[in-house]
Structure 1
Amino acid sequence: MEVQQVIYMKRHFLRFISQENADNEMWLDYNGQPLKWHYPIGFLYDLYCGNDPQLPWMLTVHFTKFPEDILLHCPNKDVVEAHYMSTVKEADVLKHRGQVMSTMQKKDHNQLWLGLQNDKFDQFWAINRRLMESHGDNEGFKHIPIRIYADDGVCNQRLVNPKNTDGSRKVLQQMINEIYPERINVKLKTHGIVLPLDTPLQWLSEHMSYPDNFLHLCLC
């Protein structure tokens, strides 16, 4: 969820809670399911409302009984920044062996984060576009940063090559056959869209990744 929106949301609800709970961590749930703040909000909507879309999305705000067995603590936005940058670095290792993030300066990392935090697309994309490009003699990424989630929220993360052994571009159906050989009629959704099975993985990674540079796909 966009960081500034969370800050404004907390300030708003502090007016309606008791003083004894004012310093507690805020967390959200949907239908009794705590929402993990380190997952993209669009992905969470696909995961829990994909079969029954509803807008506005009705969430419950909590300041008590923090579910430590489910959620990571998030006492301040520095924790959000650290987690975000760690995830981007992980994606870069998969795509470019870490060569892009390691050549950036601190000011580039700051610009990437501040552009995201303040919802300034041009500021964010000026840096992030370098992470979405092929580098050197490679046509495409070494691996695709991808996480696939079942409806219970369990994550399946594998090393996925964007190419087949013959050098052709791997498409979504071929990846599904590799990961779920025993299942039929598997469909994957992201950004509210059920993805065509003939979509190349390289294209998906370049155009449908979330700001953390990962593809977050819901298993239908």
Structure 2
Amino acid sequence: MTNTLKDEILQKEIWRGEVPVEYVLADGEVGVMNKPSAYYQLVPRMSYLPFYLQDVRDHFAPSVPQLGNDAKMWLSYRNVPVKWQLPAGVIYDIIKQGVEEQGTKLIQLTVHFEGFPEDQILQLQHEDELRFFFNHSLKEAACIKFGSAKSIITLSTSDQQDLCEAVRDCHSRFSNYQKIREKIERHAEGQSDKLPVRLFVGTAQDPLDKYKMLLRAARQDLTFGQLLHFVLPKHFPEQHNQSSPMAEAKALLHGVSPLVSCPLKFVAENASNPDFWINIVVVLPRETNA
């Protein structure tokens, strides 16, 4: 049966999305006469920063003479540690709070090798830990979407490896991911009436660590606007014009504001992250609380 909700062109465009990142070494950690130049990357929106940090480490290592192999590298934005387990696109949208309102599309992250903030972010010693986290997130989403994580747990080892490699290298492995996703959906024991949604909610004034993450098992029959109304009715009243974009409070999905009339099932099919979660960044008006 043909899936009428599937829009492969849109899926590919979202998977091709990248965020521009500038990395600079923390001033207090420069161990040479001249501060090293910044390092620049284009990171896939759907992927995770740690997959791309080895090149960053190699770039700055000569400027930190006492750097050991076991030194824990971490990132911050305006003195706030960056949570590595969030997709790169979510981190970008929270920081930028709407790219069109900023003078540059770059986000500048500070690189640290000292003073790891253990009480603020999780440690990440090896990429395998990121893969484990991704699989755990995928299982959580499957329980909401299918009522069980069985189709994830029963994936072959090679499929699990291919899935993680597709998340790491989004541009060249889109078709690989689609094949595994279809296998997961085909082997799922059932289909619930819920969809996994994460909302990251803050104001235009909030620093990175003040955004609240709200988890929801949202009804499939909702529109994008109805979901926002149910979760944040104060900021997203029922819309009279269902074809209009959001106003005042801003809801970003992969950096853009969808129409309120967009069916949530369409969003889940074409714009969910590789772990099946729909990630929405909500920027509330200034001087308000969620």
TM-score, with structure 2 as normaliser: 0.66
Residues 86-97 of structure 1: pairs in structure 2 closer than 5 A: 86-97=136-147
By how many angstroms is 1:37 displaced? 0.4
Partner of 1:153: 211
Q: Give the SS at the match of 1:181.
A: coil
CA distance in 2, matches of 1:48, 1:81: 24
Unaligned runs of 5+ in 2: 1-47, 203-209, 237-247, 284-290
Task: State the shift of 1:180 in Å.
Answer: 1.8
- Residues 38-73 of structure 1, C-alpha deviation per residue, up to 9 Å, x if partnerless? 001111110111244433322111111111222110
TM-superposed deviation, 1:183: 3.0
Instruction: Quickly say closer, same or farther: Cα 1:125–1:14, change in 2 above 3 A.
Output: farther
Matched, 1:205 2:271: no
Deviations 1:58-109 (A, max 9, x none): 2111111111222110011111110011111111111112242134222211
1:219 deviation in Å?
0.9
Which residue does the alignment assign to 2:234? 182
The alignment status of 1:64 with 2:119, answered yes or no, reads no
SS at the partner of 2:108? coil
List aligned pairs for 1:36-55, cutoff 5 A. Answer: 36-51=83-98, 52-53=101-102, 54-55=104-105
Bigger Rg, which one: 2
Match of 1:124 in 2: 177
1:6 to 43, 53, 58: 53
Write the distance in 2 (CA, Å) between the matches of 1:124 and 1:10. Answer: 28
For 2:51 and 2:224, the matched residues in 1 are separated by: 35
2:29 corresponds to? none
Residue correspondences, number: 212
Q: Distance in 2 between matches of 1:86 and 1:35?
A: 20
Partner of 2:81: 34
Q: Distance in 1 between matches of 2:186 and 2:50?
A: 26
Aligned CA distance change for structure 1 residues 56 and 182 (closer, same or farther; 3 Å) = closer
CA contact (8 A) 1:147 1:158 kept: yes
CA spacing shift, 1:44–1:21, aligned 2, 3 Å: same
Q: In the alignment, which residue of structure 2 is the partner of 1:166?
A: none
Gap change, CA 1:130 and 1:2, over 3 Å in 2? farther
Q: Offset at 1:122?
A: 2.7
Quote the sequence identity (%). Answer: 23
C-alpha distance in structure 2 between counterparts of 1:100 and 1:193, whole Å: 32
- Confirm whether residue 171 of structure 1 aligns to residue 218 of structure 2: no
Q: Which runs of 5+ in 1 are unaligned?
A: 164-169
Encode CA deviations 1:154-199: one digit per residue, 9 max, x unaligned.
1111221112xxxxxx101211222123334543102110121111
1:6-25 aligned within 5 A: 6-20=53-67, 23-25=70-72
| AA of the residue aligned to 2:134 | Y
User: CA 1:186–1:50 in 2, change beyond 3 Å: closer, same or farther?
Assistant: closer
Moved more, 55-64 or 121-130: 121-130
Q: Does 1:142 align with 2:142?
A: no
8 A contact 1:3–1:117 mirrored in 2: no
Asked if the contact 1:132–1:206 (Cα under 8 Å) also holds between the matched residues in 2, the reply is no
Distance, in Å, in 1 between the alignment partners of 2:227 and 2:255 is 20
| Residues 188 and 219, structure 1, Cα contact 8 Å, conserved in 2 | yes
Change (3 A) 1:36 1:150: same
Q: Does residue 113 in structure 1 map to residue 113 in structure 2?
A: no
Alignment of 1:195 with 2:258, yes or no, is yes
